[in-house]
Chains A and B, each alone.
Chain A
Amino acid sequence: MAWYVFAIVDRPPAERPGRGLAGALAARQVPGGFAIVERRADVPPVELGALKQHDAVLTRVAEAVPAILPVRFGTLLELEEIEAALDEREEELAEAFDRVRDRVQFTWRRPGSDVRSPASTARPASGKEYLRRVAHAAKPPPAAFRSIRETLRPLVAAERYQRATPSIPDSLYHLVGRDGAARYRLAARKLASADPAVRVTGPFPPFAFAPDLL
């Protein structure tokens, strides 16, 4: 049976990590860290119940370790494959751990933001159109996020902006230290109540700041 991978962590949890989707979780040592895994024969179905369970496991593990890098949903590998994927990437892993250590993610969204039409995802017809799309995609966060960014800057360790897609609205991700999360939350409440066009959720494990590892 293969291992279903939830995350790579810098240290194994002090206590037993508990249950995963169906069986017990384990922390297996891999190059650069520890993989939080569960024995499974198949990939869980992409349905709401499995997603919620997966999310709950990650949240629980994230609270028990200093740094966590969530892995793509549905990652089912043999231990040798995990080791091969992470081999000689210790530096990359260490940098990623340093970035997210003792930090949590908050997510700002602006529903109703401009979404690229499905037609624009087709292959560009000309170089001009391609460059226009690249420039459009590389735009900085919109003005609606300006006051949020300026007000919360002292509390934010890292920031990432994701333009709206057909499924996800404009999103701004903030990485915030655990010790500053309460202050961030207070400030975020004020900002969100002053501007009904934006919404904030969190804290989450640092999903938006984890590199693609496996």
Chain B
Amino acid sequence: MTRPRRSGSPLLPAIAKPSTVTAKTSHTTVPKGALDAIAKPPLPARRPPQPPKPVLPPKRKVARIVGDDESSLLDLIDNLLAKGVMLNADLILALANVDLVYVRLSALLCAADRVLGPGALRGRGPV
């Protein structure tokens, strides 16, 4: 008589005897509930890691901008450079240590529409 081959252990030879070990059981002599008094409180459930909080602008930001003594860089550029910059230079052309020509240069670097104005530009454009 042949025993049926167990499907759960394909590596065991067909002649192996079935185990006599019983299924895992819990066994204790401590009365139920006796450990509850000294047991540590359960750990709080772990929260998933939160993304870092975005850095909110300070609430007084608007007030700070309005009342700030120090203007922003943009204001500085707009206020001081919007109308262009004057450049001055002295140029001396010399030959053999003899100054021959003196040129005084005074230049205005600026966007054309800031100096000429829309009216002047209007008159210059093609029609």
CB of B95 within 8 Å of the partner chain? no
Query: Are B62's CB and A134's CB within 8 A?
Result: no
- For A204, list chain B residues within 8 Å (CB): 71, 75, 79
Task: Determine how close the nearest CB of chain A comes to the CB of B115; give it in whole angstroms.
Answer: 7
| Residue A199 at the chain B interface, CB threshold 8 Å | yes
A11 → B minimal CB distance (Å): 22
A165 touches B111 (CB 8 A): yes
Assess whether B79 is in contact with A207, with CB atoms less than 8 Å apart.
Answer: yes
In the complex formed, the residue of B with least CB distance to A184 is B66
* B63 pairs with A124, CB closer than 8 A: no
Flag if A134 contacts B73 (CB, 8 Å): no
If the complex has contacts A137-B118, A185-B67, A200-B65, are A72 and B85 also in contact, measured as CB distance less than 8 A? yes
**Beta-carbon contacts of B71-109 to A below 8 Å, as 1s and 0s?**
111111111111111111000000000000000000010
Main secondary structure of the interface of A (DSSP, over half): mixed
Of the stretches A22-30, A44-52, A90-98, the one at the interface is A44-52
Q: Which residue of chain A lies nearest to B75 when distances are taken between CB atoms in the complex?
A: A201
Q: B residues within 8 A CB of A208?
A: 79, 82
At the interface, yes or no: B122 with Cβ under 8 Å from chain A?
yes
A124 contacts B86, C-beta separation under 8 Å = no
> How far in angstroms is the closest Cβ of chain B from A72?
5
Closest A residue to B72 by beta carbon equals A201
User: Does A89 count as interface, using CB distance less than 8 angstroms?
Assistant: no
Q: A127-B127, A200-B66 are in contact. Are A107 and B88 (CB under 8 A)?
A: no
Given known A-B contacts A46-B81, A73-B85, A74-B86, A51 and B111 have beta carbons under 8 A apart: no
Chain A residues near B74 (CB, 8 Å)? 109, 168
* B36 is an interface residue with CB less than 8 A from chain A: no
Determine the chain B residues whose CB is within 8 A of the CB of A75 once the complex forms.
86
Would you list 22 pairs from A and B whose C-beta atoms are within 8 A, ordered by A residue?
A43-B87, A46-B85, A55-B71, A72-B84, A72-B85, A72-B108, A73-B80, A73-B83, A75-B86, A76-B86, A76-B88, A107-B78, A130-B126, A130-B127, A134-B121, A137-B113, A137-B118, A165-B111, A188-B66, A201-B75, A205-B79, A207-B82
Contacts from B to A (Cβ < 8 Å): 62-63, 65-68, 71-88, 108, 111, 113, 115, 118, 121-122, 125-127
